[in-house]
Amino acid sequence: MIDLYFAPTPNGWKISIMLEECGLEYALKPVNLGRGDQFKPEFLTISPNNRMPAIVDHDAPGGALSIFESGAILVYLAEKSGQFLPSELHRRFGVLQWLFWQVGGLGPMAGQLSHFVNYAPGGAAAHDYSHTRYANEYDRLFAVMERSLDRNEYLAGDYSIADIATWPWVVPYKRFGQSMDAYPGVRRWFDAIKVRPAVQRGMDVGKDLRRPTGEMSEAQRRMMFGQTGASVRAAAQQSGDA
């Protein structure tokens, strides 16, 4: 059995969608980010970056295996299930380069854009330079996706973990003020993935855990956005692993 440490956000959905696509059994372990579950010592032993998603596969060869970082988890689940990551060299690296593009590019840029749209004090209008910077990057990355999707059905040819990683960060495009008008290939790809039954099941996971972004309390805001190196060091000292 696989334990999935999860909150209903784009990074969490990557893994709930993948588990549903692969038909792997899993137990949901909700991580309440506003309450600070990600800083609990027992979670930090699984995910030292104090972020979800993370998994523990109790049936891994050689003993229980814990993995943090969504890209590493997707590669692991693809290898475990033999799906969505080809073994042939050229096709495998075709997928891996788009996966790394997502975890190193689209994910962080969209994450920062989300911060300024959803959480920054005073809203995006109070942070014009930063908001514009990330909105432009998000738009640029749509144009990069279009370069592939105007000739390929999926980012790396066949449906793969690159699409599973990328799609959840395209889901909030309207809220992020992004249009698909100039990107017909991205729109076709987005609509094709949206109707996959496993994607719909993955998106429904932990629906009851969702809360509107406007309802974040000051304490939750501090928990999520007030962390520094000093607070991480203090937490490590408290749990005795410094």
Ligand X SMILES: N[C@@H](CCC(=O)N[C@@H](CS)C(=O)NCC(=O)O)C(=O)O
Residues that bind ligand X in the complex, under the rule CB under 6 A: 9, 11, 33, 38, 50-53, 69-70, 103, 107, 224
Name the minimum Å distance from CB 110 to ligand X: 10
Of 161 and 183, nearer to ligand X (C-beta) is 161
Name the minimum Å distance from CB 39 to ligand X: 7
Name the minimum Å distance from CB 15 to ligand X: 9
Token pair in block for residue 225? 């956005």
Name the minimum Å distance from CB 69 to ligand X: 5
Of 35 and 147, nearer to ligand X (C-beta) is 35
Going by the DSSP 8-state scheme, the letter that residue 213 receives in this structure is: G
140-145, Cβ contacts within 8 angstroms, sequence gap of 24 or more: 141/105, 141/106, 141/109, 141/110, 142/173, 142/178, 142/180, 142/182, 142/183, 142/186, 143/182, 143/183, 144/101, 145/183, 145/185, 145/186, 145/189
Of 96 and 192, nearer to ligand X (C-beta) is 96
Of 40 and 51, nearer to ligand X (C-beta) is 51
Name the minimum Å distance from CB 107 to ligand X: 6
**Residue written as token pair 């596969």:** 57
Percent composition of the chain: helix, strand, coil (DSSP 3-state, to 5)? 60, 10, 30
Of 50 and 166, nearer to ligand X (C-beta) is 50
Task: Decide: 13 and 204 in contact? Cβ < 8 Å.
Answer: no
Which of 219, 234, 242, 208 lies closest to 39, judged by CA? 234
Which of 142, 139, 144 lies closest to 187, judged by CA? 142
Name the minimum Å distance from CB 93 to ligand X: 20
Task: Decide: 56 and 66 in contact? Cβ < 8 Å.
Answer: yes
Of 8 and 157, nearer to ligand X (C-beta) is 8
